Amino acid sequence: MALAQEHGAGLRKLYVAGVCGSFDASVAIERWPQWVERRTTAKGDEEVVCRLPLRVEKHRPNQPLTVVVDTTGAGKTAETMMRQRGESLLCRLETGRTHQIRVHLAAMGFPILGDPVYGTTTENEDVMQLHASVYSVKLDQSLDAGKALADILPRPRLQESAEGLHGLWDDGADGGADAVTYACADPPWLTTERERPPSG
């Protein structure tokens, strides 16, 4: 959170998610035709964009914070882009609402494995399968942004990536040469090569 406040729009994050079932964009689009669309980028990548508005539920004592889809006008704009990567999804936030990826995927019919609030958990799924994959900070005026990123994020999980977000999400939004990018170590549940996002 401190990183997002300090770097604002210059911070880009990609997440990798394991979901219940095999992700099918057609199911999500059929469920929410006004809010979910499939598109092909200029580079030929297919992605699904979910724009379901979200609202934080009134907090109840001794209960986890919950967020709901609210299409009545009371919800706040939320945009999540998803691309298939093997059995997993690579997700990028255009907005940063609380529990955004978790709620969007659950609403589309593909809750995150191990999610105790919006999904289902079993003995084999005791770890939520949502994991930060890449962080990129655009260096505006301060060359200390990269140091700040390395200081805030857990060191053992980071490795500097010279390629930025290219190869993962090449849409020109990562700051290019003016960005410092770190890739996080793969989570234990991301076990096969075909599930791993391509590394830079």
pLDDT string in tens for the chain (200-residue length): 444 444 455 677 889 999 998 999 999 999 999 999 999 988 888 999 999 999 999 888 888 889 999 999 999 999 999 998 888 899 999 888 999 999 999 999 999 999 999 987 665 566 889 988 877 766 655 545 555 555 555 444 444 444 444 445 555 554 555 666 777 777 888 755 444 444 44
User: Which residues have CB under 8 Å from 123's CB, separation 6+?
Assistant: none
pTM exceeds cut of 0.85:
no
35 assigned to some structural domain: yes
67 assigned to some structural domain: no
What pLDDT shows up at residue 78?
A: 96
71 assigned to some structural domain: no
Q: Compute the distance between CA of residue 74 and CA of residue 53 in angstroms, rounded to an integer.
A: 8
65 assigned to some structural domain: no
Q: Which domain holds residue 15?
A: 2-51+78-188
Which residue, 96, 103, 133, 137, is CA-closest to 117?
A: 103
62 assigned to some structural domain: no
Contact (CB, 8 A) for 78 and 104 = yes
68 assigned to some structural domain: no
What pLDDT shows up at residue 149?
A: 55
Give 158-182 pLDDT, tens digit per residue.
444 444 444 455 555 545 556 667 7
What pLDDT shows up at residue 165?
A: 44
* Domain count across the chain: 1
What pLDDT shows up at residue 133?
A: 83
Token pair, residue 146, equals 């990269």
Contact (CB, 8 A) for 106 and 112 = yes
3-state helix, strand and coil shares in percent for the chain, rounded to the nearest 5? 20, 30, 50
What pLDDT shows up at residue 1?
A: 40
198 assigned to some structural domain: no
72 assigned to some structural domain: no
Token pair, residue 151, equals 């200081």
